[in-house]
Amino acid sequence: MSKQSRLKHYGLAVIVCAVAVGLGGPLDAPSSCFLLAVMASSLFGGTRPGFLAVGLSGIAFNFLFLPSPLSLSSPSSHYLRFGVFVVTALATIQLVETKKRNEESRRRIEEDLSSTQRRLSRATQIATVAELAASIAHEVSQPLSAVVANGRACIQWLSAEPADLVNAKVAAERIIRDGKAAGEVVRHMRALFKKTALERIALNVNEVIEEVLSLIHNETVRKQIAVETDLEKRLPTTLGDRVQLQQVVFNLLLNGIEAMETVIDRPKKLIIRSKMQSSDAILVEIRDYGNGVADSNRIFEAFYTTKEKGMGMGLSVCRSIVEAHGGHLGISPSQGSGTTFFFSLPLGTSQLE
Amino acid sequence: MSKDNPIVYVLDDDYRVREALTGLLSSVGFRVEVFASAAEYLKFKKPDSPACLILDLQLPGMSGLDLQREIAGSDAPAIVFVTGHGDVPSSVRAMKAGAVEFLLKPFDDQELLRAIEAAIAQDREARLKRTEMAELQRRYALLTPREREVLPFVVAGLLNKQTAAELGNSEITIQVHRGQIMRKMAASSLADLVKMAGKLGIS
């Protein structure tokens, strides 16, 4: 809290107490007015302004509203009256404080809940992608198995003495049929990925980046990677699929983290930058200080991987997502070690498919 | 191809795979029978020849692993599993339950043929053992209850006199029993009889 706003809160306490002094007499209800003042001070100003209000009220009550200011000779009923007033005022502050604390904790729980839900939906999505990949693999491997077996059979029939041309022809025709079937699966898969790219809402790319960063925060802390952001504050909104763009950022960041897995001789650092590329496009850059990329042309190909356990799908999926948004994903030369990936997103809707 | 005319059963729910394997296996000289479900396979009256079963892991109704469990212990042929979803737990279960090979689709044709050859060889051996065992059991069934009592003493190497004392018979009776046992079991020597008893689990 700034000094200025703290002063404001104390000022508030002074003003409401003054109002209570002014109204207490004419209304003939000084204690109620002072209690209201204490309540307002602690509710809007905080606990300390609340205490200030109690003090001020106490003094005013003592001097203005008791038949005579308290002294050693005052009757005990005056002391009692004053004591009851102070205790009630303090209890009021306590109640307001408790109420505020409850609200705060409820808000925090709600926040936690919604972030957990976000993570869960992300996890489900990843699981769905894995399932999808398994089912596609199965759909393609059936006709491929048949193609291989038919191909071998065809050779066998042809190399028999005498060659069995009828059976060889049957086998060759089956190869064509099953090859086409496998091609059909691939076409369906493309259509599927295109269809999921349809949800487009106005979004701020910085938010997308920050959501993903919060998601991998633990990972970066655990691996002692420093994350630096340089996000353009006045970034205009763009139309896009939030989840898919998160996937792109997520993938690029994970790549960066993995690229620095074995780095020991220099600090591990990820830099994420957003800026205007031109008047009608946003540019996001993600730079790591890993070991760099050997073949920057091939890394975007599907199934090309440099990782022991990788599928080689990450970057090619990223590129197709960015391109479906009318943008471009690429790699730019880094100064020193590491790799810089960038992607652009157009602002206008005209280029969206 | 061997003269005992081995047969390959193919159980896969995809007609393209069934067709292709029929083509491939008959082109290299196997007899092939294809089935689309475990029920069809179980219903089929299998001829008496060495065989192997190419079994898809995922099948409608009873799965490949279920079928493997169902037919285990009977005179089931050796099994080669093929699957489009290679998950480690199923492959471990399949191999533990005695599968010869676990191939991932799309499979390599040479690899498949090698696995089939191995499976058939294994089945041929198992069948030989089973025939031998059945013959021994048939012979053992010919023995009278008394002869079955005497047999363990004979194969344990006891003299007729000792066996007679153990069973409370005269030595000459035991000698007659022993002669009958050797004849009925078609044993050429005592060593031969001991071997047979070992296979039958008698000691």
Helix ranges, chain B (H): 15-27, 38-43, 64-71, 88-96, 109-142, 145-155, 160-167, 171-184, 190-200
Does any CB of chain B come closer than 8 Å to the CB of residue A271? no
Please check the confidence at residue A56 and state whether its pLDDT lies above 70. yes
Most A CBs within 10 A among B15, B19, B34, hence the mutation to make, goes to B19
In the predicted model, what is the mean pLDDT of residues A232-258?
85
Question: Which residue among A157, A167, A174 places its CB closest to the CB of B20?
Answer: A174
pLDDT at A309: 47
Instruction: Please answer yes or no on whether A138 and B84 come within 8 Å at the CB atom.
Output: yes
CA distance A237 to A243: 16
For A318-349, b/e burial (b = at least 16 CB within 10 A) is bbbbbebbbbbbebeebeeebbbbbbbbbbee
What count of other Cβ atoms lies within 10 Å of the Cβ of residue B100? 22
Confidence class for position A194, pLDDT limits 50, 70, 90: low
What pLDDT does A351 receive?
Answer: 42
User: Nearest chain A Cα to B87, which residue?
Assistant: A134
> Could you identify the residue written with the tokens 């000691």?
B203
Q: Which residues contact A78 (CB under 8 A, 6 or more apart)?
A: A66, A67, A68, A70
Which contiguous run of DSSP H or E holds residue A8? helix A3-27
The answer to whether the CB atoms of A150 and B20 lie below 8 A apart is: yes
Nearest Cα of chain B lies from the Cα of A303 at a distance, in angstroms, of: 17
Mean pLDDT, to the nearest integer, of A23-45? 84
User: DSSP assignment, residue A75?
Assistant: -
For residue B191, give every residue at least 6 positions away whose Cβ sits within 8 Å of its Cβ, in sequence order, or none: none
Check if B106 contacts A (Cβ < 8 Å).
yes
Closest residue to A152, CB basis, from B24, B85, B106:
B24
Residue A291 to residue A306: CA distance in whole angstroms: 12
Report chain B residues whose CB lies below 8 A from the CB of A143.
Answer: 16
Which of B19, B82, B106 shows the shortest C-beta gap to A144?
Answer: B106
What pLDDT sits at residue A312?
52
Residue A214, pLDDT score: 78
Range of weakest confidence among A15-24, A115-124, A176-185, B53-62:
A115-124
Q: Which residue of A has its CA nearest to B111?
A: A149
> How sure is the predictor about A342, in pLDDT bands with cuts at 50, 70 and 90?
very high
Please give the pLDDT value at position A352.
Answer: 41
Q: What is the pLDDT of residues B141-180, one digit of tens each?
A: 999 999 999 999 999 888 888 989 888 888 899 999 999 9
Spatial separation of the C-alpha atoms in residues B126 and B88, rounded to whole Å:
28
Within a 13 Å sphere around the CA of A139, how many CA atoms are in the beta-carbon half?
16
pLDDT given for residue A353 in this prediction:
39
Give yes or no for A167 touching B (CB within 8 A). Answer: yes
Give contacts of A134 with chain B, Cβ < 8 Å.
85
Q: Does A141 touch chain B (CB under 8 A)?
A: yes
Asked if B87 has any chain A CB less than 8 Å from its own CB, the reply is no
pLDDT digits (tens, 9 = 90+) for B9-63: 999 988 999 999 999 999 999 999 999 999 999 999 988 889 999 999 878 778 8
pTM score of the predicted model: 0.49
The share of chain A scoring above pLDDT 70, in percent, equals 84
Q: Dump strand ranges (E) for chain A.
A: 201-203, 226-231, 238-240, 269-278, 281-288, 328-332, 340-346
Select from A140, A144, A153 the Cβ nearest to the Cβ of B24.
A153
**Cα A150 to Cα A167: distance, rounded to the nearest angstrom:** 10
Three-state DSSP class for residue A282:
strand
- How many other C-beta atoms lie within 10 A of the C-beta of residue A223? 13
Q: What pLDDT is attached to residue A81?
A: 81
Does B19 sit within 8 Å of A145, measured CB to CB?
Answer: no
The strand ranges marked E within A90-207 are 201-203
* Interface contact B16-A148, CB threshold 8 A: no
Q: Which residues of B touch A178 (CB under 8 A)?
A: 16, 20
A86 pLDDT band, cuts 50/70/90, is confident
* Distance from the B17 Cα atom to the nearest Cα atom in chain A, whole angstroms: 5
Tell whether the model's pLDDT for residue A311 goes beyond 70. Answer: no
**How would you classify residue B129: left for phi > 0, otherwise alpha for psi between -120 and 50, otherwise beta?**
alpha
Residue B23, chain A, CB below 8 Å: the answer is yes
Report the pLDDT value the prediction gives residue A271, as an integer from 0 to 100. 93
Q: With 80 as the cut, is the pLDDT of residue A134 above it? A: no
Q: Which tens digit of pLDDT belongs to each residue from B108-140?
A: 889 999 999 999 999 999 888 888 999 999 999
Question: What CATH fold (topology level) applies to the domain A201-346?
Answer: Heat Shock Protein 90 (3.30.565)
CA A114 to CA A116: how far, in whole Å? 5
Average of per-residue pLDDT across A202-213:
88
Considering only CB atoms, which chain A residues are within 8 Å of B21? Answer: 149
Task: Taking the CA atoms of A90, A95, A101 and A104 in sequence, report the sign of the dihedral they define.
Answer: negative
At A255 the pLDDT is: 82
Backbone angles phi, psi at B31, to 5 degrees: -80, 140
Q: What is the pLDDT of residue B48?
A: 86
State the best of B85, B104, B109 to mutate against chain A, taking most chain A CBs within 10 Å: B109
Q: What CA–CA distance (Å, rounded) separates A225 from A165?
A: 65
DSSP 3-state of B134: helix
Asked if pLDDT for residue A117 goes beyond 70, the answer is no
pLDDT of A1 above 80? no
Return the top range by mean pLDDT from A84-88, A205-209, A245-249: A205-209
